[in-house]
Structure 1
Amino acid sequence: MKTLKLITVIALIAVFGFTSCQSEESSEVGTNPNANSAASPTASNYKRAAMNDGSNDDFLDGNSCTELLFPLTAAINGQRIVLVTSQDLSLALNTIGKFNDDSDTVTFNFPINVRTSSYSTIVVSNQSDFDALQKDCERAEASGEDAVSCVTINFPMTILTYNIRLEQTGSVVIQSEKQLYVFITDLESDALFSVDYPVSAVLSNGSVLEINSDADFQNAISECTQTEDEEDEAADTATEVEAVLSGATFQVETFVTGGADTASDYADYIFEFTNDLELIAKNNVNIALVDISGTYEVSSETTAFLNINFGSNTAVSALNNDWIVNTYSNTLVTFTSKTDASVTLAFQKI
């Protein structure tokens, strides 16, 4: 801490001592009072944004800090699948998503190769080594040292380098995430740098953001990681709600629309949510009536949704909607219409 304070004092003295004699050109880039050290929050932010992102195959390895390398072989729910390229991940995803009420298991045929957040390629020899990597990733996530994948920098970008007196010593044009990661991790303890703003970046929602300062970049990361946390929580909720619904039968407990509870209109029906995403409405009073077949899907963004689709012109078509999950238990799930908060629905398990 004392060393950092000393650097700060020297830096401020250098700024006032050298500003008066800078040329017009060097006054723009030659002296920078906002230069960062290797231990600065800005260095950490750019390092995390530049890390290798291993989250695309999380459904298979459950580890966002490692990227699976191909070819590899895995047993998924007991079915042997050979993955030759990353495009074959869809085969694994289809196998996992075949049913929504089973407990998915993935067993790799070791050894396998993975690429870490630091771009190192390592051989994972057995399940024990694989589990150890997972624990390392959990620790990195808990301490805020994992990769930030919700802000993608548009390259090239330029970084200016300085000595301890804040005199510019050079500049580096960065062309890729890996090059940026190496630059940050290779910084000496007494080296200083600043980013030549503006920098363009793409957020996970597809929007393009112009970053004009270290503070802007910090805010972008804070906001998008908060959104990611909300998305993760919503995804967990969706998984749990799907588990409640799948393979079970419900009745309409309440259905409020136009200010009136119309649940009595569906008193004769039970609703079966199958494990392959079919939703079947059966009339238990008049068994001569043909069952009404529809579909359902539980999904999530920053909140969890239930989509119901019985098609049009059926006795239960009014239930068609994108429903926001409000509350849920093992026996009762309540919803609000995504488009009209005055419309609500509750399913009670039979």
Structure 2
Amino acid sequence: MVSFKKHLSFLSVVSFFLLFSCQSEIMEESYNTQETITKNTPLTTYVERVVVQKTAQDNIIDNTDCFMIKLPYVVTINNIEIAINSYDDYALVKNKCNERSNDNDVVYIHFPVTVIFNDYSEMRIDSQTDFNDLVDDCKEKSNVLLKINCLSFNYPITIKTYDSNKQIAGSVSIVDNKAFYVFINNLEDSQLITFGFPLTIINSSGQTRIINDNDQLENLIKETLNSCPENINTVSDFNKSLTSGSWEISYFYHDYERTQSYSGYVFTFKSDNTVIASKLGSSLNGVWSTKLEDGVRKFELDFNANAFDDLELNWKLFEFNNSRIRFRGGTSNSGTETDYLYFTKIN
């Protein structure tokens, strides 16, 4: 979401750096959702979650979203062996489980198997004990925000890149979800990227959407998060999550990224609607409020400190779980950019 003075286009930015590299350190770092984005831009993280490996389709067998079992393999249920050679074979297991309503169906996996994680990495599992240990380990790490379903990109996609440290421009052709995920995951903080619009995106109904800029792409992902049944938030009590434990600001954008301005502050939200922001033995007091309005949860902060005025915007809850809370606000920089406030739990 990084852009530069006068909102130059991406190619102009590259030319500027190549011609005037000695001035690169004094360039203003602001953010513009219409132009370039970086590794930490909200849009980048949302796209990454669209293209991660889908791992929920075999939950009737492994009972976890943490990974999927790599095809092919064999399971036994009610003394019947079933070969899982394709995604369609999951229906065979489901049908077998539904044959009787009064029995306790247990799916036995024939080991060894290989499991595939969300990041496309793989692991061989040799026994039921090892499998159970892995599932238990996944449960302890279950508070990550999961894959965004019901969207798929039409490939290939061209992405232009520019490294502000090395002053090198380039272009990458992305051919599938795995390549897209690896590309985003390997981005460095100094790299700027622009997608080669228009993009063609397909929803779960097979309908296509033509996307012409970053705002359209982010809005489509937000719309899908709210409407796709596979993306329904499993945590329904926002107040309970907010008032459990302490939080830090992991991302804040208003006119430009200001995350570092709140580095070191620990936020504790109380059930009496007070909030304390502590840092190095000193504390700032404030209040918080939330309400549902037309199906949208709104959130406000009010601190007795001018240093926190920028946090006192009209926030709308974007998504949350027990360890992460993400708000989107209105627009800044003359209505061209979206405000963001992210909290991450620290205990």
TM-score (structure 2 length as normaliser): 0.53
Contact 2:66 2:138 in 1 (8 A): yes
Deviation digits for residues 249-288 of structure 1 (CA, Å, limit 9, x no counterpart) = xxxxxxxxxxxxxxxxxxxxxxxxxxxxxxxxxxxxxxxx
Q: 1:91 to 1:132 in 2, by over 3 A?
A: same
Shift of 1:193: 1.0
Question: How large is the RMSD of aligned CA atoms in angstroms?
Answer: 3.5
Shift of 1:152: 0.5
Kindly report which structure 2 residues correspond to 1:87-98, keeping only aligned pairs within 5 A, or say none: 87-98=88-99
2:37 is aligned to 36
Deviation digits for residues 3-38 of structure 1 (CA, Å, limit 9, x no counterpart) = xxxx96xx534x56xx5xx9xx94498689532221
Unaligned runs of 5+ in 1: 1-6, 235-350
Contact 1:35 1:162 in 2 (8 A): no
Contact 2:150 2:203 in 1 (8 A): yes
Percent identical: 25
Unaligned runs of 5+ in 2: 17-30, 235-347
Rounded Cα–Cα distance in structure 2 between residues aligned with 1:120 and 1:231: 23
Shift of 1:101: 4.4
Q: 1:140 to 1:164 in 2, by over 3 A?
A: farther
Q: 1:103 to 1:217 in 2, by over 3 A?
A: farther
Rounded Cα–Cα distance in structure 1 between residues aligned with 2:129 and 2:219: 38
- Is residue 66 of structure 1 aligned with residue 58 of structure 2? no
Q: 1:28 to 1:192 in 2, by over 3 A?
A: closer
Deviation digits for residues 192-228 of structure 1 (CA, Å, limit 9, x no counterpart) = 2121222111112322122222232222222222233
Shift of 1:168: 7.0
1:203 is aligned to 203
Contact 1:51 1:178 in 2 (8 A): yes
1:130 is aligned to 131
Rounded Cα–Cα distance in structure 2 between residues aligned with 1:72 and 1:148: 27
Shift of 1:121: 2.0
1:343 is aligned to none
Contact 2:163 2:190 in 1 (8 A): yes
Q: Which amino acid aligns with 1:107?
A: Y
Shift of 1:164: 2.3
2:117 is aligned to 116
Kindly report which structure 2 residues correspond to 1:2-81, keeping only aligned pairs within 5 A, or say none: 11-13=3-5, 19=8, 26-27=11-12, 34-76=35-77, 78-81=78-81
Q: Which amino acid aligns with 2:36?
A: A
- Is residue 187 of structure 1 aligned with residue 184 of structure 2? no
- Is residue 162 of structure 1 aligned with residue 154 of structure 2? no
Classify the secondary structure of the residue corresponding to 2:215: helix
Q: 1:95 to 1:230 in 2, by over 3 A?
A: closer
Q: 1:45 to 1:132 in 2, by over 3 A?
A: farther
Q: Which amino acid aligns with 1:37?
A: T
Classify the secondary structure of the residue corresponding to 2:123: strand
Rounded Cα–Cα distance in structure 1 between residues aligned with 2:141 and 2:196: 29
Q: 1:124 to 1:233 in 2, by over 3 A?
A: same
Rounded Cα–Cα distance in structure 1 between residues aligned with 2:204 and 2:120: 22
Deviation digits for residues 68-126 of structure 1 (CA, Å, limit 9, x no counterpart) = 223423232x3241415125434322211213444332222332211221212211233
Contact 2:150 2:230 in 1 (8 A): no
Rounded Cα–Cα distance in structure 1 between residues aligned with 2:168 and 2:223: 32
Rounded Cα–Cα distance in structure 1 between residues aligned with 2:62 and 2:168: 45
Deviation digits for residues 21-65 of structure 1 (CA, Å, limit 9, x no counterpart) = x9xx94498689532221221221121111111222222222234
1:173 is aligned to 173
1:214 is aligned to 214
Larger Rg: 1
Q: Which amino acid aligns with 2:40?
A: A
Deviation digits for residues 157-186 of structure 1 (CA, Å, limit 9, x no counterpart) = 111112328977011111111111111111
Rounded Cα–Cα distance in structure 2 between residues aligned with 1:90 and 1:225: 26
Q: Which amino acid aligns with 2:147?
A: A
User: Bigger shift: 183-192 or 79-88?
Assistant: 79-88
Q: 1:85 to 1:132 in 2, by over 3 A?
A: same
- Is residue 151 of structure 1 aligned with residue 151 of structure 2? yes
Rounded Cα–Cα distance in structure 2 between residues aligned with 1:135 and 1:211: 40
Deviation digits for residues 130-149 of structure 1 (CA, Å, limit 9, x no counterpart) = 345445655666331x2222
Kindly report which structure 2 residues correspond to 1:250-265, keeping only aligned pairs within 5 A, or say none: none
Contact 1:52 1:119 in 2 (8 A): yes
Shift of 1:156: 1.1
Rounded Cα–Cα distance in structure 1 between residues aligned with 2:139 and 2:68: 15
Instruction: Report the count of equivalent residues.
Output: 217
